[in-house]
Structure 1
Amino acid sequence: MTQLDATIVNVSLPDLVATLRAPFSSIQWVVSGYLLALALTLPLNGWLVSRIGGRTVYLWCFDAFTLTSGLCALAWSAPSMIAFRLLRHGGGLLAPMTQMTVARVAGRQMPRVASAMTAPVLLAPLLGPVVAGAIVSVASWRWIFLLNVPVGPAAFILAVLYVRSARRKGDDALIDLRLLRVPAFSVSAVIMFLTNGVSFAGQLLLPDWLIHACGASPERTGLFMAPSAFRR
């Protein structure tokens, strides 16, 4: 859900500009604001788990993500859309919480399970622009956000039934800055920062250029953007 949502909106930005009657410089915060909130919430993962438990955090993430998806579909202006996207910061915790939960359950089968988990993570950026282009071609952009509404409750129910309670831990810092003293970790962090900056910048700018400068339809734009997922 979170990987798909990070790329599915890019193709619909021109439609948001026209429908919400706002300049592109404002509408681009629909994507930038979401990614910024996503990054800012990641350090809270360990802190929240230590205080209220992993299962509670995991279920709360699904609730927040599903509710704000519905609110985004009901947005009436650019500020309201940006605000609702910022509120979707709960999605930023879904990925690390999923990894933590699977790691605790998989045990020795972790390599096999991890390889299976990689598939949706890689497919989501590939399908995001294609799905968005198909939706915008035949329906309103609001359906892009409504996709998460039926998936969220289903995932929530499965989590309630099968995810065990996580243990609460003692008081720990949000981020262990001592990790930056490890050369391999610090260099990797810098490389990932630069790589993702270039990747997401292209995903934001290319759809607008293809639609406005080249006259491509949203559906064709989605197909043009799909190969960019293979860079991952």
Structure 2
Amino acid sequence: MAITLIVGALGVVFDTTIISVALNGLAKDFDAPLSTIQWVSTVYLLAVFITIPLAGWAQSRIGGRRLWIVALGGFLVGSLLSALAWSAASLIVFRLVQGLAGGIMMPLMYTLLMQAAKGRNIGKVMAIITVPTALGPILGPVLGGLILHLANWRWLFFINIPFCLVGMWLARRNLPDDRPAPDRPGARLDIVGLLLLCPGSAALVYGLSQVGDSTAFVSAQVLIPLLAGLALIGGFIAWALLRDTGSLVDVRMFRHRSVASSSTLLFLGGISLFGSMMLLPLYFQQVHGASPLGAGLLLIPQGVGALVARGLAGKYMDRVGPRTVALVAFGFVAASTVPFAFVTADTSEILLMAALFIRGIALGAAMIAPMGAAFVGLKHEEIPDASIITRVAQQIGGAVGVAILIVVLQQNIGDAHTPSALANGFDHAFWWCVALTAAAVPLCLRLPSLPEPAASADSNTKKIDKPTDFTAA
């Protein structure tokens, strides 16, 4: 099951990282301003936030296997249409199709594997689930650079087709048929919740994404969608609390300490992960003069470190619990980011790559520990809501992190053009990254301290009590 889901998810993960290296080329090919081409990435992100909350309801209606195949098919169609796009506007529309499918797939992957594990070896399961997210930062930028070097931008989308086709074939073979019984009443869609939460999340992320074109959070193009998004999300929370059952996402899940603390840490972890993923390529390109492919190659050590961390973090999570792993991991993420706060135009790239490798190990563990902790002690039917909540928390944290660090970088760079002046601006931005990561360290103490006892392989098997005497035996 793990291999089946990973193969399908790789196309989605690569697509989010590959496209970032092609924006300048797309602007030239379509003779469109970069502000328009930027929507190729922005609209994908907004579409993801529209469908993430729908994953739990859709799974309850048609089953996990069917939903996975349908979502993969939608992503295949979106990829094929994107590869055949004839204008910037058509490409943006087709990227919307990709995002709608991709938004369902990622939380669904977490849900299906966690439900299959039945509470056992959560650390090991999380190590498996995070394979695509670890491979994306390693291979995505490099693969994108190689494709653009050997072929045109259309192959950035054609490359998704084999992942989708093989993933759909594997899903039909290997995923259990979990369709709901025909006589069981289907879950009703929370229309009011849908109209509040989905556009609210999209408006919030859109407002944060506009910070890149503005000098501060107080500009109208940032503030209006930001406040509208917060108001809609606040309205959804109030609506969900008034309903006993049937809300689009069960916000009462925050009563579980594991879900509340994990979501907070994933929010802060998203700031550190996505914020730094924006800063580091810019630093290598603007200060060291690296090409897009060169910047991608320089970031490989961080991705390799994240890949190495999977097994280590999963093993120690099952042995000592997520609290200890997260505490050590977030501390090392903050410490390994400190060297970048002292960078200059002459800083050795070898030294920075070594720091990136250590940071990748710490960052991988810092994401795995709270993500796994969120599912500790949950019932089978609660897992989809926890998957959605944690996914949304991480993604919004990433949008917030990018927005904050862009503002800090712009204010400290100003009109600087020399490498030394640019490096000074990046120093300030990296210090902010350190501070935001360090803020998560004390919150790690709220995670579960020890792993839960392993659940029975069959939840319907009755426990046999130890006999009290030999006669009973």
1:177 aligns with 2:251: yes
Computing the radius of gyration from Cα coordinates, the structure with the larger value is 2
Question: Hey, what does 1:81 align to over in structure 2?
Answer: 91
Deviation per CA, 1:54-82, whole angstroms, max 9, x where unpaired? 22111101100111111111112111111
In structure 1, what is the Cα distance between the partners aligned to 2:256 and 2:115?
26
Q: Which residue of 2 aligns with 1:14?
A: 24
Task: Give the unaligned 5+ runs of structure 2.
Answer: 1-9, 181-185, 189-245, 304-359, 365-473
Gaps of 5+ in 1: none
Distance 1:159 1:124, change over 3 A: same
The structural deviation recorded for 1:111 is 4.2
Is the Cα–Cα contact under 8 Å of residues 40 and 91 in structure 2 kept in the other structure?
yes
Residues in 2 aligned to 1:77 and 1:167: alpha-carbon distance in whole angstroms: 40
Q: In terms of mean alpha carbon deviation, does 93-102 or 146-155 score higher?
A: 93-102
**Greater percentage in helix:** 1
Matched with 2:106 is 95
Residues 66 and 96 of structure 1: is their aligned pair in 2 closer, same or farther, counting only changes over 3 Å?
A: same
Residues of 2 paired with 1:94 and 1:191: CA distance?
A: 22
In the alignment, which of 16, 28, 34 is matched to residue 24 of structure 1?
A: 34
For residues 121-176 of structure 1, the C-alpha deviation after alignment (integer angstroms, 9 at most, x for no partner) is 21222211111111112211111111111121111011111212224364432111
Residues 1:92 and 1:224: Cα distance change in structure 2 (over 3 Å):
same
- Listed one character per residue, the Cα deviations across residues 7-47 of structure 1 (whole Å, up to 9, x for unaligned) are 11111111111111111111112112212211221110111
Deviation at 1:83, TM superposition (A): 0.9
C-alpha change, 1:97 and 1:198, in structure 2 (3 Å) is same
8 Å contact from structure 1 (residues 136, 219) kept in 2: no
The whole-number CA distance in structure 2 between the counterparts of 1:201 and 1:32 is 16
CA distance in 1, matches of 2:27, 2:281: 13
Which residue does the alignment assign to 2:73?
63
Partner-residue secondary structure (3-state), 2:130:
helix
Q: Is contact 2:18-2:140 (8 Å) kept? A: yes
Deviation at 1:180, TM superposition (A): 4.2
Larger RCO: 1 or 2 (CA < 8 Å, sep 6+): 1
2-structure distance, mates of 1:209, 1:201: 12
Question: Within the alignment, does 1:161 sit opposite 2:235 as a pair?
Answer: no
| 1:84/1:50 CA distance change after superposition, 3 Å | same
1:1-232 to structure 2, matched below 5 A, reads 1=10, 2-88=12-98, 89-107=100-118, 108=120, 111-168=123-180, 170-171=187-188, 172-180=246-254, 185-186=259-260, 188-193=262-267, 195-196=269-270, 199-200=273-274, 203=277, 216-227=290-301, 229=303, 230=360, 231-232=363-364
The percentage of counterpart residues that share the same residue type is 37
For residue 196 of structure 1, what is the amino acid of its counterpart? Answer: G
Cα distance in structure 2, aligned partners of 1:20 and 1:198: 34
TM-score normalised according to structure 1 size: 0.84
Q: Secondary structure at the match of 1:175?
A: coil
Question: Secondary structure at 2:97's aligned position in 1?
Answer: helix
Amino acid at match of 1:102: L
Aligned residues: 232
